[in-house]
Amino acid sequence: MNPALSINDIISQVKQLDKEEQLTLLERIALLIRETKDKNQYARLSDISGIGSSLWSNISIDEYIDQERQW
């Protein structure tokens, strides 16, 4: 945020808008906050698809399963 622009400055500018513009601004700010929250809070499984493929590339699945069954 620009240090020269304070919240009080923003509020005084918002007061100059008509009610319809104020409501539109409020809706856009709420949408902006929701989008930011959604992006940071949730991970999709498709985003991590294939992440461990390099770990498993040199391992035989059948041998791995046999080893796990032995203990």
pLDDT, tens only, 11-35: 999 999 999 999 999 999 998 888 8
Stated length of the chain: 71
Type of residue at 2: N
The pLDDT value recorded for residue 18 is: 94
Q: Mean pLDDT score of the chain, rounded to an integer?
A: 82
Predicted local confidence at residue 21, as pLDDT: 94
Extents of the domains making up the chain: 1-44
38 alpha carbon, distance to own chain's centre: 5
- 10, 8, 36, 37: which is closest to 25 by C-alpha? 10
Residue pLDDT, tens place only, 40-71: 566 677 777 777 777 788 888 898 888 889 87
